[in-house]
Amino acid sequence: MPKVGMEPIRRSALVQATIAEIGAARSLDVTVGQIAKRAGMSTALAHHYFGGKDQIFFAAMRHILREYRAEVLQALASATTPYARASAIIRSSFAPSCFAPATISAWMTFYAQAQTQPETKRLLRLYQWRLHSNLTHALRPLSRHPEQDAQRLAALIDGLYLRAALSEACDPKGACNAALQTLQLLIASDQ
């Protein structure tokens, strides 16, 4: 009989193992058995908690998005101006936690899976909506076209992230600086 309270611990271990396995394989070409072994449990137990690889991957991406959300909220907590809010959102998108090798692999897989998996596509749209919404809110007092500028910045953030993550010399700081310079240009063009 399982110990009471073990389910959240085991689920968390499986999520962490999924991220690590995807990072090691640099793709979703991993098995539930590999994930379970890394988590120190049986394949049957992994299936019991999640059902299958797609569900474990989905849980792993939700975990990564919660970490990203926490990063954004922490940065926004000290932002006292609209410009500081927009900058905080951009900086959070290029935080060191977003560039851990396993996290990069999970994000790349996330984008690919969103093309064929409706649940994953919905999760990606939710991330994109939140990013756009947060940027729009920050840009309202700064821009005559906050929706359009937010859309431009969100696309730039995603593009710069992909480029930095996939380059030989991963440069999150350079990518962040490029996005911050674009923010300044957008605001200056509205003055």
Residues 79/40, Cβ–Cβ less than 8 Å: no
Closest CA to 50 of 62, 59, 38: 59
How far is it, in rounded angstroms, from Cα 148 to Cα 22?
35
Tokens coding 172: 């999150």
Q: Give CA torsion, residues 136, 137, 140, 145, to 10 deg.
A: 10
pLDDT at position 124, please?
94
Walking along the chain (191 residues) 10 residues at a time, the average pLDDT comes out as 74 93 86 93 91 90 93 95 96 90 87 90 94 96 94 94 82 91 89 62
CA–chain centroid gap for 78, Å, is 21
pLDDT at position 7, please?
86
* DSSP per-residue codes, 84-129: HHHHHHHHHHT-GGGGSHHHHHHHHHHHHHTTT-HHHHHHHHHHHH
pTM score > 0.85 for this model?
A: yes
